[in-house]
Structure 1
């Protein structure tokens, strides 16, 4: 972990301990996450899908307990879950087991519900609190399932058919709660329409009143004829009534869901999928059976919530099982279509189901800054370390800290060089794809949730079962300066193939990686970016880790694909010395240019006394491999060293304005015609921290790199001087923050 020192005015020191956020995970396990507020329990498959941002499909449980007899209900439930997985989504069957709401069931739970059948309480929205408070087992209806799916942030729900307005509702007032739930809960329901035992015309009218868009999915149809708008009637493909609209592709369905959320309409959607023709029951046979069943229900006094299961059972008996077969077939077909829609929603519209507010720009803490500067999604890819930072700061009242327990303050915060860079870039307004790995453990869960809270994308994180999450444990003196630290981190498991695939898919303007990644990953980054001509920013991270890049130097010469690096003085020396040991400076072509640098630096030495001359020579020798080197000098500021192909008009060899200076040394044209251009040195005074405490140096250097990378990915390198000024301000803000990246960093820092 690196930090950037900034010149500061004397101030008192103060830091507060905040560890409560991590304590709430003490009772969680690797297989489930429990949200006590809503009593939601996710099984391992759904928990993994949430972490990895895999698409999820909500499934109801009433169809298991009240919709079909055993064992067809169990066979259908298991087969529907298999179909959902086969089509790229995770099945989240929802039910209440002994008073606990489960999102995702194990096979044994499905079997238990299937065998219990109608003895299980049917739970609509109104019944949820009762079932939870009394410890009941309940099967959720369409309305109950929608409400819980929305709590869990799941956007797509697959069922057989929705409830509706019952026949004779004008006298009985019997209207399904499914319809009012659709009017207030933004979940898309993929179904086969409304059961033909209901009043379909009045149901469509009621949905219109509730502000619910109804569309019929007519895949592979051509034209916009009347058939395209025909609303299906569950067992049959046509009802005789039109839908307000039709959708012809999976992507159109996903787009509809996306924009319904983006507009924050807070109402659901009905995407009606007609039953496949080969499985459609005979319409006339079904209609006769329905009329007979309705008459029987009236004669024996069946009413209320018992009507629907009675009618379905009687219709199945009169059709000799044809209606049950059709029911099973349409549910499976809906599962196929729904899973494909959820997958498209996640992949093509970059929608994260785990936090529904992330769909809506006005609720996104990072995107709140869009009015100041446009956000570029994934135009920057950051690869590197992520960790929990534990920072201990010694109490200034005590002097002897050696080999004893010492008073002080302890703080937990988000950390890791790559993660810090990604957060700083996010706060600048360039939303990066961050690639790293965490363990399936308490620190990993905490990091994941905290990143989501501040609006950072997490789809690039790999969740590893066999490796722990990284931890960085630092001890600071009473004034916030680092004394020593222990870094327990291993990022060798980040997949080079994953990195290469992500770069190819996103085609960013810039790729930034830190020294935590393995040499295998570095090779993947360089090779992929060379093939696509994407410039790369290398953040050295530490003295030992900075050397990893040197073995790749020879491959960099033809393209200079690593365009930028930001070492501190020690890391610069390590890069230089490692390259020298490998014989990378054994060439004559550059020696004359270095002689000219020495003359200019020697001539100006009195004015450059604040800097070590070695910084100039070491940087200049590395320029053939990395043409833009930004040396961070702690509380002395920063030095930009560049290799210019087309130098500006040079009137003087050097320009001094106070302590700031710019030196341009022309490169000589050699006998072979190569060379030319210039070497440019530009010094930046430090940003002065005034009237604010410096409370934490950890993360300041990462904030500098993140702001600079964000600016380079957005603007390119032409305004790099201004970007460095802004990056220094970002570092100064972080020095004044208890967090590893200051929450005060905004796009205004780089608004040129």
Structure 2
């Protein structure tokens, strides 16, 4: 996601995209730093965790693909992602809210690899920071959650469950980018936690008309339930070759993939490419002028979805996890 966003915003110098992530003091950590530097990415957010009792192995994922580029199986070691959210020093007295204040980001993007406890810490800090910026600057901090996998898709829900039990207010995650099975898991877990009502089979007052050949109506209702519960503001539901469906408080809209055949080489990385390009595009449009109307917001989201789909399409035709020519995707919108 960070590489895609960096390349989409390649005209920004220095880069406005900062990847904050732990890595191990090992050969893979050196490879990570070197590769990011060669890709023109910032490395000032990388750090080696100081806790001697936690994992120090750089995250590694090995995947096996079939001859169509689809995933068959994989082995991943992501334990280090749950050791620390950000680099901490003995002089660090302001924690994560202080880091957000220092960086002043438009959008914070995170995925399921950080785990539930750290997702809670991150969302709480984002809510504190967002409330402050909304009060003084008239704008809020946006957040985007990429679920990563079925098993990790529900890591954000404990934050909302705990806040509900304690009677504390929360702000919804601005955007989430699940596929259908990840969405189903998020909804099922939310139901178990009492965050959404029991599943319904219809919603006569909702503008949720999506062709059932694209996605089951139940999936759209599940997404709307998460929106209505104040967990996510906009769900960007990925539906493969059919494109993306956006579900928000107003209803659901289908964003088909642009016409033209693509020689599929590799499906790995398409979801991350979409999320990274979407976040980069939205950040580009709001950094100087915060949208003043729903129509303007809708226009920005439509454009960001389009650019995200083009990024995913590029990756689909590439042997790499991030496709080529990402730096050209914003040209027609500048």
TM-score (norm 2): 0.79
Within the alignment, does 1:728 sit opposite 2:309 as a pair? yes
CA shift in 2, pair 1:529/1:702, >3 Å: same
Cα distance in 1 between the residues matched to 2:260 and 2:58 = 34
Query: Radius of gyration: which is bigger?
Result: 1
> Which residue of structure 2 aligns with residue 749 of structure 1?
330
Shift of 1:586: 3.8
Cα distance in 2 between the residues matched to 1:688 and 1:700 = 17
Within the alignment, does 1:697 sit opposite 2:277 as a pair? no
Contact 1:594/1:620 (<8 A) preserved: no
> Which residue of structure 2 aligns with residue 594 of structure 1?
203
Within the alignment, does 1:424 sit opposite 2:19 as a pair? no
Aligned partner of residue 232 in structure 2, secondary structure: coil
Shift of 1:720: 0.3
1:209-230 CA distance string (max 9 Å, x none): xxxxxxxxxxxxxxxxxxxxxx
Within the alignment, does 1:615 sit opposite 2:224 as a pair? no
CA shift in 2, pair 1:472/1:561, >3 Å: same
Contact 2:20/2:85 (<8 A) preserved: no
Cα distance in 2 between the residues matched to 1:687 and 1:493 = 41
Shift of 1:437: 1.2
> Which residue of structure 2 aligns with residue 682 of structure 1?
253
Shift of 1:561: 4.2
Cα distance in 2 between the residues matched to 1:547 and 1:608 = 25
1:574-601 CA distance string (max 9 Å, x none): 00000001111249xx98993423xx65
Cα distance in 2 between the residues matched to 1:610 and 1:693 = 21
1:122-174 CA distance string (max 9 Å, x none): xxxxxxxxxxxxxxxxxxxxxxxxxxxxxxxxxxxxxxxxxxxxxxxxxxxxx
- Relative CO higher for 1 or 2, CA cutoff 8 Å, sep ≥ 6? 2
> Which residue of structure 1 aligns with residue 173 of structure 2?
562
1:443-486 CA distance string (max 9 Å, x none): 11111101001110011111248611111111111111111111
Alpha-carbon RMSD across the aligned residues, in angstroms, is 2.6
Shift of 1:683: 0.2
What are the residue-to-residue correspondences of 1:53-202 with 2, within 5 Å?
none
Aligned partner of residue 48 in structure 2, secondary structure: strand
1:66-87 CA distance string (max 9 Å, x none): xxxxxxxxxxxxxxxxxxxxxx
Within the alignment, does 1:546 sit opposite 2:143 as a pair? no
Residue among 438, 442, 448 paired with 2:23: 438
Contact 1:514/1:540 (<8 A) preserved: yes
Contact 1:474/1:484 (<8 A) preserved: yes
Cα distance in 2 between the residues matched to 1:750 and 1:464 = 39
> Which residue of structure 1 aligns with residue 283 of structure 2?
713
> Which residue of structure 2 aligns with residue 392 of structure 1?
none
Residue among 171, 184, 188 paired with 1:573: 184
> Which residue of structure 1 aligns with residue 32 of structure 2?
447
Cα distance in 1 between the residues matched to 2:216 and 2:197 = 24
CA shift in 2, pair 1:551/1:595, >3 Å: farther
CA shift in 2, pair 1:593/1:626, >3 Å: farther
Contact 1:560/1:627 (<8 A) preserved: no
Contact 2:61/2:76 (<8 A) preserved: yes
Contact 1:630/1:641 (<8 A) preserved: yes
Q: Which segments of 5 or more consecutive residues in structure 1 lack a partner in the other structure?
A: 1-420, 644-678
Shift of 1:637: 1.1
> Which residue of structure 2 aligns with residue 493 of structure 1?
83
Shift of 1:545: 0.6
Shift of 1:638: 0.9
Q: Which segments of 5 or more consecutive residues in structure 2 lack a partner in the other structure?
A: 89-94, 131-140, 287-296
TM-score (norm 1): 0.36
Cα distance in 2 between the residues matched to 1:714 and 1:570 = 31
Residue among 26, 32, 48 paired with 1:463: 48
CA shift in 2, pair 1:613/1:591, >3 Å: closer
> Which residue of structure 2 aligns with residue 638 of structure 1?
244
Shift of 1:734: 0.8
Within the alignment, does 1:629 sit opposite 2:235 as a pair? yes
What are the residue-to-residue correspondences of 1:272-311 with 2, within 5 Å?
none
Cα distance in 1 between the residues matched to 2:70 and 2:119 = 31
Residue among 526, 532, 536 paired with 2:123: 526
Residue among 87, 105, 113 paired with 1:508: 105
CA shift in 2, pair 1:503/1:751, >3 Å: farther
Cα distance in 2 between the residues matched to 1:569 and 1:546 = 11
Cα distance in 2 between the residues matched to 1:497 and 1:559 = 26
Contact 1:438/1:470 (<8 A) preserved: yes
Shift of 1:495: 3.5
CA shift in 2, pair 1:480/1:504, >3 Å: same
Within the alignment, does 1:536 sit opposite 2:148 as a pair? no
Shift of 1:558: 4.1
Cα distance in 2 between the residues matched to 1:634 and 1:528 = 33
> Which residue of structure 2 aligns with residue 15 of structure 1?
none
Contact 2:144/2:175 (<8 A) preserved: yes
